[in-house]
Structure formats: structure tokens, C-alpha cells
Structure 1
Amino acid sequence: MRLNLTILFGIFLLKTSAQSTYAPLNDEYSHLIERYEIKSGSLLNLHSNIKPVRRKDLIKLSTDLEKDTKIKLSKVDSFNLSYLQNDSWEWLDDEKLTQSNSTRKFLKYFFKKKSDFYNVQNKDIDFHINPIFQLAFGNDNLVESQPTTNTRGIEIRGTINKKLGFYSMFSENQIVYPEYVRQYGRFYSANPYEGFTKITNSDSTKFATDFFSARGYITFQALKSIQIQFGHDKNFIGSGIRSLILSDFSAPYLHLKVTTQIGRFQYVNIFAQMLNKQIPLAVDGTEQMPPKYFSLHHLSLNISKNFNVGLFETVVFGKRPIGFDINYLNPIIFLRFVEGNLGSVDNSIVGADFKYNFKRHFSLYGQLVLDEFNLEHFKRNKWWATKYSTQIGGRYIDMLGIKNLDFQVEYNVVRPYTYSHFSSFSNYVNYNLPLAHPLGANFRETLLVLRYQPIRKLFLNLTSMSAKHGEDFDNLNWGGNILRNYMIARPREYGNEIGQGRLAKIHHLSFGASYMLKHNLFIDFKFQNRNIQYSDEVDATKSKIFSFGIRLNSAQRQLLL
């Protein structure tokens, strides 16, 4: 009898109380959350290093900021806070609720609220429905078939009897990616952020993708301090542009998330079922893609109102006759102990993260991930299994006294073979895409981001990425491709360095401008200049990509690869 996450969900059904669904998980939203947490001068409002955050908590952060007389908010800040509040207006008190009303209703029933196409709210149900739309056209100098995006969909969220929250999103997409993204998709046999996709013309220059995207979950408050989420969705752990612990780069996955928050402590358990795309399916299509599983514990502590530290552990495993191994269900045991007792056949990873906000203008953050570490071998000459990754970053908001000019810098380092495993059921991968950093392993990366909002509805963004990534060549495994078995074709035991193998130097510069025509309706312009130079080639491959588009209730995809 297979024990899956649907059965596990039933174990946690308890008496519920008022709850909240989650705010959108994207770069634009995350930046606003981090910015206003810094301005608040306190980390006690929400543990923002675990994303997405609850809409209820985000409303509390924004309304508390407006009430704080010590904070000087610009007109742009006031606009942004109103935007966040209007986007989750169901959690506003009666005094502020009227601000979310629309002045242009349609047929009395539509657009009653600025953020909703249609909504119903009474004592039994709170219901919101919105269309999703994105249309974009571009130009890539490397290919004949130019980048395009055509997305149509719908988003639904709400609560039933103020007890059970629900969220559902589905969209139909046709996308022609820029050439560098197509190359990434060919290499990994998967497209960033997505699950199953159809390549409609894979042998030509078009390489168009056609896919159906969907997410859906329910939430409920099991106890005063415990919230539970169950469904298909994504998570992001960290305060940076990248996460070396858990990012949203792979496909959505079925999971049960239990969040316990007591005072300054937050404890998160994630039990997930993902997919192993590396196992070949039957030619006649009679086999299903085999599952792999994931269990994570993350403990977050606000040591002071400005300093937060987190500890995490996770294990990835598969090939169990009962499905999810019940040994990993214990939410308060050390997973490495359990994994060792089972014979050390799974992939156990541990680490820590931190964030320090100060002077209402600055933030320092970082992560440390230990995949495998042996002190005796560490003292010797760069053992192959000294596998770890580190991140350090910082933010400076209202830089040099210029209102709404924000700067961010981030440095990421990942040793060769980190996140990989001898079994495809245990590597740190879901649906062939890394669960952490898009580059996998064996690289150094520097990111610089400058964001400026000169007027209320105009958003400017300048991003620079520079990376040195060691790729495999001559059929040898130099530790950059985390899908590969680290026991096969590894060239040496010691002397392994970051960037070994075929060194790729990547420089990616992008400029974006977005203007909000009305709530969540944007027009976008973007220019990207990407160069990649290989150590064994004289000339660099140079990409120049322009794009222009319009989107409604949809976020731009971050494609820094």
C-alpha cells in the first residue's frame, strides 16, 4: 500500500480558525516585502526569509508602517503600501477597506474592487477571481524565430466560513524563448519554472514551447500558532535574488507545509512529492514518471528585532515500496540521524541562513549549505566530496538619500559536485531542474541590481550577472551538472577547484522598465545583453535581446542563466 502526501494530509486535519492564503511569489513582490521590512526597523512582523508570506501578515506590516510616526514615507512609498493593501484587501479593517473600492464598476458586479475582476464576500465565503494575460514580442540577434510570449489564464482565491483558504491558478502558454534559454532547456530537457511542456518544433530554429501551467492549494489554521498548506505550489527560502537552500526555479510540486510560529520562533516543515524525469518512460506511454520525495525542516529565530538566524536540514530520497518513507515524517528529529539509520542511501543536506537589518536603510544576508563535509579530508588538497555552497549579500534602500532608489549586491559560490548524488532519486533536482541555483554547481557568481521608482507607477531595473561556471567536457564529470552520478567519470579524487572543467564566463546585463496602467496591469520594455566566453574558444557568443509586452496579474520571469 503506497503512503502518499494525500494520506499524510489527513493526519493533520484539526479544528481550524481564521487563516490566510499566500501573497504572490515573484521578484517584484519580494522586493517590496524586503524593502518595507527594512524601513520598519523590525524583523518581528513576519519571517520574510520563508516565501511566500501570508497576505494577512503582509497587511499588518504595511498598516503598521503607515502608523509609525518615526518613518518618513515618500509619495511613492504610500502608493506601494496602498498597492499591497488593495491586493489583499480582505484583511483590511473597516476604516481602510473603502480605499480598495473601485471608482469604475462594470455592470454593477465586476471591478467592484481595484484588484478584482469579480468578488463575493459574506459570512460564508470570501471569493476573488481574476484573469491572467501576458503578450510580449521580442528580437534576439542569434535566431530567426524571435521570442514571443502568449499567456491566458485565471486565478481564484478565497476562504470558506473564515476557516478554510483556497487558491487555484491555471494558464495556457505558448512561448518562444531567447536562444540562451532554449539551450538551457535542451540541456536539461526542461524549461525554467515549469513542468511538462511540449516542444512544438524542436528540430527547427523555432523551438516553441506549448504548456499548461497550474497551481492549487488549501490552507487552514490548525491551532493558533500552526498553519497548514497542502497542494501544488513552490517555496523560496532566503532573502536574496538566488537561494542556495530552496528556490522557485523548478516545477511546482505537491507538498504539505506546516508552519509553527510562537513568539520569535518560526518552524517550517515541508513534506513534498516531486518527479524524477531522469528515468526513461516506456515508449508506448504506459509508465508514469516515478516520484521522488523531499523533507525539510527550517527553524528561524529573531535573536533581536534586527537580527534573524535560521537553521535547516533536508533529505531527498526515492525508490521506496511504500512511497513517502514514514521515517522522515518526524517533524522534530534530525533527518541526518534518520538517513544514517536507513543506511545512508539518501541525500541529506544541512545549513544556515541569516539576515541583519539596520538603520532602516541596510540589510545583510547570507546562506551556508553543507552537502557533504569531512574535516579529515578537508585538511587535504581539495577533496572532491568537500561539497558546500555559500551566499553573502546586502541591500541599501533609498541609496545616497535618493528616495526609492534601491541597490542590491549578492555573491554566490558553489563547490563542484554539490547537490548531486549517485542516484537520480536523491539529487537536489525536481523535474530535471535544480531545486536551488539554476547553474547547479561548480561556479562563482556576482549579482548587482539597481531598482528605481521615480514616480508612483514607473519601475526601472538594471541587473548585472557575472559568473564563472565549470562545465563538463570529454565525457568527464567535472561537477557542474548536478543531474550526473558523481561516482561515474569523475576525473580525480583531490585537487578539485571551483570552475574546473570547461570554463564558461557569463556576463548578463539587463535593463527593464515597467509602467502600471492600472492595478496589476503593466506595459514592459526590456533589453538584455548576454555574452558567454568559453576557455577553449576565441570568440564569445553575444546575445542582444529586446522585448516589449503587456501583462495583467502576471509576473515577469527571471531568466538570469
Structure 2
Amino acid sequence: MSRFVKPLALALCMLLAASIPLLAQTSFVNTAFFPDVQSRLFLNQWQQNETYSTKSPHTEDLGARFLLQDFKTTKASFLELVSLKEPKLSLLQYSYADSSLRYDMEANAISQIDFLSAPVGKYSAHTIGLRVNSSLNSKFRARATYSNTRFHGDREAMAVSPLVDGYQITMHTGTYTDKLNGELSYNDKHFSAALGRGRFQIGNSISGSVVLSDRVSEYDYALLEQRFGQFSFSFLHGSLKADTLKDGRFPAKFAAVHQVTWQPKPSLDFFYGESVFYGNRLDFSYLLPANYWRVGKYRSEPDNLNLYGGMNIRPDENWTLYWTLLLDELTPRKFFSNWWGNKYAFQTGAACDLPILNFNPREKPRLALEFTAVRPWTYTHYDNIAMFSHENSSLGYPKGSNLLDLTAEFNLPLPLRMRWDSQYSLTWQGSEGNDWRVNYRDAFPTEIINQAEAFWLDGELSRTHVLQNALRIGVFTHHDFLLAHRSTFGSQNSHIFYANWQTFF
């Protein structure tokens, strides 16, 4: 472990230095499911989380306006496709207003061409999509985005595609995948509620949340939040897809999360929450927004329960400091021992906006540094239906467990709707207990399960460097070009190159 002391000490010193400024008043995004700090690096436009990135509908005038409405509108639309101005038109726009309400609706057609080159092969892909977005009095929201992608090329290359994160079907005409993201929601100062299909990140993070990751395919959900003064109460219930069949079918699988947030001042907040993964029935106790799930009958249930908490500090308008802790197993008398069941994850980071490098008035450049430590066997479970996953992807830390990780990310918005994003990470990981798909009862039979030990970085040790860069070029209105690469250096080096062109109107 001595070789890890220097990099860990360096990371902690940098975070300590970042926390020296006194606390000040700043704005606070008052919801548990929309973190202030997220990764801004995307290797493909469709990697962006529509739940977070979809803006309010844009309309020019009252009434309806569509692409082929008349010669003047058609001419203006085609000229805007190749202009350098900000986009104002779309496939369909509609706006209505009277003395009591304002309704806006916008619809966009999307087409995207992708190319990927990897050591295992190459592919090309074509995606078509439709986005419909509407709002009523800026409080009610109804939106949906659907896309269908068709791949051509090597199936081995498709396996490493950022476009494939769940369901896909292979036919003689090619491989296809579909995505659907949307919501029906209400939001005001004190109350939010939503029914939708999407994905969420809990806690600030650039390398991936240790509590609930959004680097999975979309799932159906119900969301509820109440905010009163310094306290907010948040609840999320999701319908997941199991990873294996049971009696020839996918059994029902669910996830539930509730969280309490205390914000004594705008620059500081603390949060505590619970999450559970369970299946085979809908448990109405898990629909309660505030309930201590780890007591009573749940001690004997096969459900996968977890505790988490943390804090966020905003010393000034440019800094965000954060700490998050997940407890996958809680046995207080053994917590400081080497018992294998001490399954937990810790993440801390600092994100700093850099206005001195500002080339774009809409977004400040940002530099973020993050350290993550995940104990062996974290996220593993003995019951397949209650595993920490959705559609064969981890809902926990995306890089797995039994690891130490340092990640840095730099985001530089440029003029003319261009941007450069870069991320570097160094991960030390042991081979034992590092995968959520492992059944821990296979490794720890009943006779040793209460005494067996596990140590940090158990097994064969790997050290992996990953460098990713993405350049987005949106010079022309309604066009978005993206060039990116991902280089991995470790036991096996690899380089993947991406080129994408998206047109939307």
C-alpha cells in the first residue's frame, strides 16, 4: 500500500486547500436528483442525460408555426440550417396565452451519423429521433424523446459503443437499439412530482456516483419532493429490468430511494438517505417517502438495502466541494475490522469554475478533481433479483469495486457553440470482489461468512490510465459535430476513435 500513499495524500491535500475559503451565500439547486456537479464529457451526443439537458421549449410567436407552413417559413427554415445565428425555428412550434395561462410546445426531428474505430473492429450507425417538449405556466411539463439506431459493421465494436447501454435486437438487416426518455411533471418552490422514464445521478460526481449512477439505460420512475425552509424530503421509485430470466420471463424488479436534505445556509447542505433493490412483488412499504427500511421484517428479507449520506459546500460562486459515503452493509461492531462484509464506498471532490478562461458567456470553464475508494464486494448480493443493477449495467460506481480512483476533468466552452472536454483517470483495482455480478455466497460459504476477511485491493492488482477527449463543433445552427477518442493504458492498451454528426430541426 506504500505506493498509494503519495497520490492519495496529494489528492487529499488539494481538496483541503480548496476548502480554505470562508463560506458565502450562493444559489442552491434544491433537488436531490439533479446534482450540481456532473461529468460534461460525452463521446456521443446521445450519452447526454435528457432528464437533465432538455431545455424549456422555444417559441417565437403565439399560434402555430411548422416547417412547410408557407413559402416564407420554408425558406427561412432552410436558410437557418446553414446560418451561424442562434437557432430560433424548429419542426413545429405552438404557443397559446390568455389571462390565466401560458402554454408552449416545440417538436424537433433529429438525425445522427456515427463512426467508431476500435481494436476489435469498426462500425457505422444511423439514428433518427423525435423530441416533443411542452410547458404550462412554467410549472407543468410534458416531454418525450425517442430515438432508434441502426448499426452496420463489426458486432464486437458495437459492444463498446456508447450508444448501446441496454436493450438491442439483431436481425438480418442489422442491429437496432431504441431509447425513450420523457416525463409528466409539476415543479414549484415547495413541491415537485413526476412520472417518467429516465435515469438519475445521486450526489455530485464526475467519474460516476457511488450511490446511484445514471450511466445506464432509462427506466420508468415516480418522483416526489417536498421543500420547506431548510429541509427537503425526496423520494424516487423506479421499475428496473432484471438481468436474468426466471421461468422464461424477466421477473419484476424495483428500486426505491428516499432522502432528507438539511441546508442550514445556502452555501452548505447535508443529506442522508436509503436505497433498496428488490423484486418479485411491489412492496407498498417502500412507497412511503420517510421510513427506516432496515428495521423490522426487512432484516430477514432478501432485499438489498443501503444507507448513504454526505455534504456539499459552496465557498463562493465558483467552487463546489463534496463528500459522499455509501454503506452497503452495516454491522457497527465489525465496522473497523477487515471483515469482508464491511462494504462501503467513499467519494470526495472539488469543482472550480474558471471565469478567467471564459470564452463563452453561457457557461464557465471548469476544472474538477475527484477521489473515490470502494471496498471489495461492495454492490454484490446473493439474490440475483436484488442486485445493484438495471438491464445488465451497474447502478453503483461504474468502474466497479475493490478500487481506488483519481479522476480529473477539464471543460472549456469555446466561441461559436464549440467546446473541448478532457478527462484523465488513474485506477488501482484488485481482482477479488470487484464485480456486482458475483454472488458473495459462492466466495463465502455459511460456515465462514461471519468471520472471513477481505482487504483493500485483494487479488491481482491492476493499474489503469484512461485519457478521454471530445471536441464538439456547433458552428452551424442545427448541426453538431463531435470528434472524440478514448485511450486506455494498462495490462492491454487500446485506442477508440469516435466521429459523429447530428442534425436537428
TM-score by length of 1: 0.70
Other structure's SS at 2:385 match: coil
- Which residues of structure 1 form unaligned runs of 5+? 1-39, 54-83, 95-103, 186-190, 202-207, 283-287, 472-477, 534-540, 555-561
Instruction: Tell me if 1:452 matches 2:412.
Output: yes
Partner of 1:357: 314
Aligned with 1:119 (options 93, 104, 118): 93
Letter in 1 for 2:335: F
How far off its partner does 1:171 sit? 0.8
Partner of 1:485: 439
Contact 1:44 1:302 in 2 (8 A): no
Partner of 2:214: 248
Partner of 2:272: 311
Partner of 1:138: 116
Other structure's SS at 2:475 match: strand
Letter in 2 for 1:127: M
Distance 1:468 1:237 in 2: 24
Partner of 2:7: none
Aligned with 2:325 (options 350, 365, 368): 368
Distance 2:297 2:220 in 1: 22
Q: Within 5 A, what are the aligned runs for 1:168-187? A: 168-175=144-151
- CA change 1:280–1:175 in 2 (3 A) is farther
Distance 1:176 1:338 in 2: 53
How far off its partner does 1:418 sit? 1.1
Contact 2:107 2:131 in 1 (8 A): yes
How many residues in Structure 1 have an aligned counterpart in Structure 2? 438
Instruction: Tell me if 1:336 matches 2:297.
Output: no
Contact 2:166 2:393 in 1 (8 A): no
- CA change 1:259–1:109 in 2 (3 A) is farther
Distance 1:517 1:391 in 2: 37
Distance 1:353 1:496 in 2: 25
- CA change 1:197–1:411 in 2 (3 A) is same
Partner of 2:66: none
Contact 2:57 2:105 in 1 (8 A): no
- CA change 1:414–1:466 in 2 (3 A) is same
Other structure's SS at 1:314 match: strand
Letter in 2 for 1:361: N
- CA change 1:459–1:42 in 2 (3 A) is farther
Aligned with 1:51 (options 34, 40, 47): 34
Q: Within 5 A, what are the aligned runs for 1:374-389? A: 374-380=331-337, 382-389=338-345
Q: Within 5 A, what are the aligned runs for 1:99-498? A: 105-106=73-74, 114=88, 116-123=90-97, 125-140=103-118, 142-143=119-120, 145-159=121-135, 164-175=140-151, 194-199=165-170, 209-220=175-186, 225-241=190-206, 242-280=208-246, 282=248, 288-319=249-280, 323-337=281-295, 340=298, 343-380=300-337, 382-398=338-354, 401-403=356-358, 404-471=364-431, 478-490=432-444, 493-498=451-456
Contact 2:56 2:133 in 1 (8 A): no
Letter in 2 for 1:88: S
- CA change 1:160–1:315 in 2 (3 A) is same
Contact 1:109 1:118 in 2 (8 A): no
Distance 2:204 2:185 in 1: 24
Contact 1:87 1:115 in 2 (8 A): no
How far off its partner does 1:435 sit? 0.9
Q: Deviations over 1:164-200 (max 9, x none)?
A: 5312111111347999976679xxxxx8773311256
Distance 1:456 1:162 in 2: 29
TM-score by length of 2: 0.77
- Using the TM superposition, name which of 229-238 and 40-49 deviates more: 40-49
- CA change 1:91–1:354 in 2 (3 A) is farther
Contact 1:119 1:127 in 2 (8 A): yes
Contact 1:274 1:430 in 2 (8 A): yes
Which structure would you say has the larger RCO, counting Cα contacts within 8 Å and 6 or more residues apart? 2
Distance 1:52 1:115 in 2: 31
How far off its partner does 1:394 sit? 0.7
Distance 2:106 2:400 in 1: 38
Distance 1:137 1:360 in 2: 39
- Which residues of structure 2 form unaligned runs of 5+? 1-22, 37-51, 63-71, 81-85, 359-363
Distance 1:441 1:86 in 2: 32
Letter in 1 for 2:286: Y
Partner of 1:68: none
Partner of 1:88: 56
Q: Deviations over 1:456-504 (max 9, x none)?
A: 4221122112212233xxxxxx311212221113497544123223333
- CA change 1:192–1:420 in 2 (3 A) is farther
Distance 2:54 2:221 in 1: 29
Partner of 1:538: none
- Using the TM superposition, name which of 343-352 and 402-411 deviates more: 402-411
Other structure's SS at 1:358 match: coil
Contact 1:265 1:301 in 2 (8 A): yes
Distance 1:395 1:431 in 2: 31
- CA change 1:171–1:434 in 2 (3 A) is same
Q: CA RMSD in A?
A: 3.5
Distance 1:329 1:279 in 2: 26
Contact 1:274 1:293 in 2 (8 A): yes
Contact 2:59 2:104 in 1 (8 A): no
Partner of 2:40: none
Contact 1:192 1:433 in 2 (8 A): no
Aligned with 1:549 (options 497, 500, 504): 500
Contact 2:418 2:475 in 1 (8 A): no
Letter in 2 for 1:247: S
How far off its partner does 1:273 sit? 1.6
Aligned with 2:488 (options 517, 521, 530): 530
Letter in 1 for 2:94: V
Other structure's SS at 1:349 match: strand
How far off its partner does 1:108 sit? 7.3
Q: Deviations over 1:229-253 (max 9, x none)?
A: 1122111112211111112112211
Distance 2:335 2:487 in 1: 39
